[in-house]
Amino acid sequence: MSFSDSDDEAPPLVEAVMDAEAGPSRALRASARVPLTIICGFLGAGKSTLLKRILTEKHGYRIAVIMNEFGDTADIEAKTINVSSADDPSAEQTEEFLELANGCLCCSIKDTGVAAIERLMLKKGAFDYILLETTGLADPGPIASMFWHNEEYSTGLADIVLDGVVCVVDAVFGQGQLEEDHATDDDLGLGESIRQIAASDVILLNKSDLVKPETFLETERMIRQINPAAPIYRTVKGEIDLQHIIGISAFRLPPPDVPVADNHVHSDDCKDAHNHDAPPTHYELRGISSLQVACGVLDQARLDRLDEWIRTALWENQIAGAAQAVKILRCKGAFTSDTGVHYVLQGVRSMYEISELAGGDSMGIPATGKIVLIGKGLDDTARASLERVLL
Ligand SMILES: Nc1nc2c(ncn2[C@@H]2O[C@H](COP(=O)(O)OP(=O)(O)OP(=O)(O)O)[C@@H](O)[C@H]2O)c(=O)[nH]1
């Protein structure tokens, strides 16, 4: 269960007890609900290339890929499946399904709205997983919210569980795109490339074959400024082990430990001297900031105070002791109570959830907890305020 600012009363802090199974294959089998990954990314960054690879390679997964158009994947050896619905006779014209040789189901739909997804779910059983490619201009935040808390929808959409959001960034043009990102949203004053990175659980820095190491480092530094909690993988033509992008349970498991000390991904070609000590705790790029605060074991009073702090920040856009308003796009965290219970915090916009982890899932949890917030107005005053709550 989750909290949102439309709830009348704040529910108690501990909400959901998760099942003990973990790991991609188990996660796929464990749930009758079909996991869904949102793939977003800058225009021309390589989203279709990634999906084409997934649709043509032998990987053993039966994935339904929802694409805006088939484009040059139409020549894939496939059997067209007609899907029509008595409720919507026009469905045949708006959607096309291809059953592919590798077990994938490719679904081309012009409209990725609720009705189209519901119609895909009529074919439930033909696939175990859904990948949804958004357009280059999409803000994945609201799309993620829709799939994250979908209980109010009828059977179909409610049979989907959000696994994570993956962002494909162009290693060649990503830096320029971020620098030139113009606000398209009056409310947030942020352009889509920044919002896409902020909303993501995994980032693929694609077209790695075309850039020099220093370009990588600078782009990675900028991405880290916006989102310090998402692992970054360098890819060529979307070449990546699928386990890094599907079945990650990003909305269920603690955020992974991403190296933040030097603001970039470690690799063999990185032999430059840089400071590995004193990880920064606050970043800012074009008005969006991220904040990472560590915490020890929390007693009930601190857990209650933390819940209230998050609620006030997400629902009222206020932080105790801070003059300026905040706007939080994404929050994540993992922490432990003095009774030994592990919790995971997840939030998208004003919705958040604090879930209790059961035995199996809590194996990899470090002793130190952490809270990561991404949004506007998250300055040093905000950090000090959160630290006071956790002290
Ligand atoms: N050299 C190189 N080219 C790539 C790589 N990935 C994709 N491309 C090329 O980049 C171009 C754009 O790739 P797409 O996969 O169409 O990008 P997209 O994000 O789907 O594009 P939009 O749907 O227009 O936003 C194509 O010509 C690809 O062949 C890569 O890793 N290296």
Is residue 41 located within the same domain as residue 154? yes
From 9-13, 31-35, 120-124, 329-333, the region with the lowest mean pLDDT:
9-13
Could you tell me if the CB of 210 is within 6 A of ligand 1? Answer: yes
C-alpha distances in Å from residue 226, one per residue of 58, 220, 246, 379: 35, 10, 23, 13
CA 157 / ligand 1 centre spacing (Å): 30
Q: Is residue 10 part of a domain?
A: no
From 25-34, 54-63, 193-202, the region with the lowest mean pLDDT:
25-34
- The model carries a pTM of 0.76
Check residues 309 and 85 and name the one with the higher pLDDT.
Answer: 309
Q: Which residue is closest in CA terms to ligand 1's atom 3? A: 207
What's the mean pLDDT in 31-59? Answer: 86
Check residues 309 and 80 and name the one with the higher pLDDT.
Answer: 309
Is residue 212 located within the same domain as residue 310? no
* Separation of first and last alpha carbons in the chain: 27
Check residues 321 and 348 and name the one with the higher pLDDT.
Answer: 348
* pLDDT score of 94: 55
Is residue 231 located within the same domain as residue 342? no
Could you tell me if the CB of 112 is within 6 A of ligand 1? Answer: no
Last residue of a domain, one of 244, 266, 290: 244
CA 13 / ligand 1 centre spacing (Å): 44
Q: What is the DSSP letter of 267?
A: -
Could you tell me if the CB of 347 is within 6 A of ligand 1? Answer: no
pLDDT digits (tens, 9 = 90+) for 236-280: 999 999 999 999 989 888 887 765 433 334 333 333 333 333 344
What CATH number did the domain enclosing 347 receive?
3.30.1220.10
Check residues 59 and 13 and name the one with the higher pLDDT.
Answer: 59
Q: Is residue 226 part of a domain?
A: yes
* pLDDT score of 278: 38
* pLDDT score of 100: 74
Q: Is residue 229 part of a domain?
A: yes
pLDDT digits (tens, 9 = 90+) for 354-375: 988 866 565 556 667 889 999 8
**Given a cut of 80, is residue 216 above it in pLDDT?**
yes
Q: Is residue 207 part of a domain?
A: yes
Q: Which residue is closest in CA terms to ligand 1's atom 2? A: 207
Could you tell me if the CB of 137 is within 6 A of ligand 1? Answer: no
Give the confidence band of 312 by pLDDT, cuts at 50, 70, 90: very high
Domain range for 339 is: 282-390
CA 167 / ligand 1 centre spacing (Å): 13
Highest-confidence range of 157-161, 216-220, 361-365, by mean pLDDT? 216-220
Could you tell me if the CB of 47 is within 6 A of ligand 1? Answer: yes
Q: What are phi and psi of 302, to 5 degrees?
A: -70, -40
Count the helix, strand and coil residues of the chain and give each as a percent rounded to the nearest 5.
30, 25, 45
CA 206 / ligand 1 centre spacing (Å): 9
* pLDDT score of 118: 77
| The two three-digit tokens of residue 183, written as one number | 């606000």
Q: Is residue 159 part of a domain?
A: yes
The share of the chain scoring above pLDDT 90, in percent, equals 24
**Given a cut of 80, is residue 150 above it in pLDDT?**
no
Last residue of a domain, one of 185, 216, 244: 244
236 CA: nearest ligand 1 atom = 31
Q: How many domains does the chain have?
A: 2
Check residues 91 and 381 and name the one with the higher pLDDT.
Answer: 381
Show the beta-strand stretches assigned E in 173-225: 202-206
Q: Do the bridges between strand 160-170 and strand 202-206 make them parallel or antiparallel, or are there none, so unpaired?
A: parallel
235 CA: nearest ligand 1 atom = 31
Is residue 368 located within the same domain as residue 297? yes
What CATH number did the domain enclosing 237 receive?
3.40.50.300
What's the mean pLDDT in 336-348? Answer: 89
Could you tell me if the CB of 328 is within 6 A of ligand 1? Answer: no
Check residues 34 and 69 and name the one with the higher pLDDT.
Answer: 34
Q: Is residue 260 part of a domain?
A: no
From 122-136, 211-225, 311-325, 339-353, the region with the lowest mean pLDDT:
122-136
Could you tell me if the CB of 377 is within 6 A of ligand 1? Answer: no
Could you tell me if the CB of 44 is within 6 A of ligand 1? Answer: yes
Q: Is residue 344 part of a domain?
A: yes
- Mean of per-residue pLDDT scores for the chain: 75
| The two three-digit tokens of residue 334, written as one number | 């993992």
71 CA: nearest ligand 1 atom = 16
What's the mean pLDDT in 123-149? Answer: 82
CA 218 / ligand 1 centre spacing (Å): 21
Q: Is residue 357 part of a domain?
A: yes
